[in-house]
């Protein structure tokens, strides 16, 4: 298990082993991408092309997350024992969308925001759940896979599953965006991502 504590507001558990990519700068992201490629691809000359492809994929995915102002980026090494599953997670703290009032209740806010998202993206599959205190919006859609293709990794499409986490009494929502190339296993992957979101625990800032 990988425990992720995003101080001071959110914590969750990632099953298996995940690699955290430091998005502080292009240099830190590149260093982490290179270290990950070596950890998975080894150091032999025969695996050089594999390392190059993996480093390029992780770096481009991390760069995309950084440009979108993600606070954290994780790349799955292994979620089940002996079973590598290609997936990544970017964490964002978006501003409260215009006109959205969380104080009216998390579930009310979630339904309102979900309607707005659906109008802007009619092909997305959207579900909401929760109560007045805590609510979740899940937005699932298939995307073309230019990142994977440009890195030399075969992928015609990617599955993007985004969760808006809304809690009454907080300054704004949190957003977790999972991406995987396992589009044909969308149902199983969404179930897995739902389970991760189910471990989320909001924390109060330390006044000290």
Whether 86 maps to a domain, the answer reads no
Whether 4 maps to a domain, the answer reads no
> For position 148, what pLDDT does the model report?
44
Which one of 81, 107, 131 terminates a domain?
A: 81
Instruction: Give the predicted TM-score (pTM) of the model.
Output: 0.82
> For position 53, what pLDDT does the model report?
66
CA angle 26, 158, 193 (to 5 degrees): 90
Shared domain for 70 and 101, answered yes or no, is no
> For position 136, what pLDDT does the model report?
97
Shared domain for 75 and 99, answered yes or no, is no
Shared domain for 181 and 161, answered yes or no, is yes
Shared domain for 120 and 164, answered yes or no, is yes
Shared domain for 185 and 116, answered yes or no, is yes
Count other C-beta atoms under 10 Å from residue 101's C-beta.
10
User: What is the domain extent for residue 186?
Assistant: 93-198
What's the 3-state SS for 21-79?
Answer: ECCCCHHHHHHHHHHHHHHHHCCCHHHHHHHHHHHHHHHHHHHHHHHCCCCEEEEEEEC
> For position 147, what pLDDT does the model report?
46
Whether 45 maps to a domain, the answer reads yes
Could you tell me which residues come within 8 angstroms of residue 89 by beta carbon, excluding any fewer than 6 positions away?
14, 18, 72, 73, 74, 76, 176, 177, 178, 179, 196
Whether 2 maps to a domain, the answer reads no
Whether 137 maps to a domain, the answer reads yes
Give all strands of the β-sheet with 174-180 in edge-to-edge order.
17-21, 72-78, 87-92, 174-180, 157-167, 134-144, 125-130
**Is the distance from CB of 117 to CB of 173 less than 8 angstroms?**
no
Shared domain for 193 and 106, answered yes or no, is yes
> For position 3, what pLDDT does the model report?
55
Shared domain for 99 and 77, answered yes or no, is no
Which one of 51, 81, 111 terminates a domain?
A: 81
> For position 90, what pLDDT does the model report?
92
Number of domains in the chain: 2
Whether 5 maps to a domain, the answer reads no
Shared domain for 42 and 135, answered yes or no, is no
Shared domain for 108 and 141, answered yes or no, is yes
Question: pLDDT digit string (tens) for 155-194?
Answer: 578 899 999 999 888 878 899 999 998 898 999 999 999 9
Question: pLDDT digit string (tens) for 146-155?
Answer: 544 433 445 5
Sequential pLDDT tens for the chain (208 residues): 555 555 447 889 999 888 888 888 878 877 877 777 666 655 555 555 555 566 667 777 777 887 888 888 898 888 777 777 888 999 998 887 766 778 778 999 999 999 999 999 999 999 999 999 999 999 999 987 554 443 344 557 889 999 999 988 887 889 999 999 889 899 999 999 999 999 999 876 555 5
Which one of 81, 102, 131 terminates a domain?
A: 81
């Amino acid at each position: 298990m990988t425990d992720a504590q995003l101080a001071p507001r959110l914590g969750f558990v990632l099953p298996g082993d995940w690699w955290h990519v430091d998005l502080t700068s292009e240099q830190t992201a590149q260093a982490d991408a290179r270290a990950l490629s070596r950890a998975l691809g080894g150091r032999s000359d025969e695996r050089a092309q594999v390392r190059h492809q993996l480093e390029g994929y992780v770096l481009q995915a991390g760069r995309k997350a950084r440009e979108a102002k993600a606070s954290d980026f994780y790349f799955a090494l292994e979620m089940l024992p002996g079973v590598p599953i290609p997936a990544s997670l970017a964490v964002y703290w978006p501003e409260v969308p215009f006109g959205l009032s969380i104080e009216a209740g998390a579930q009310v806010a979630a339904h309102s925001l979900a309607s707005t998202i659906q109008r802007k993206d009619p092909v997305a599959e959207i579900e909401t759940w929760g109560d007045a205190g805590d609510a979740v919006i899940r937005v699932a859609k298939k995307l073309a896979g230019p990142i994977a293709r440009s890195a030399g990794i075969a992928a015609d499409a990617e599955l993007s599953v985004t969760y808006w986490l809304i809690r009454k009494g907080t300054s704004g929502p949190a957003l977790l965006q999972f991406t995987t190339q396992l589009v044909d296993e969308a149902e199983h992957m969404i179930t897995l991502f739902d389970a991760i979101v189910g471990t989320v625990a909001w924390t109060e800032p330390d006044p000290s």
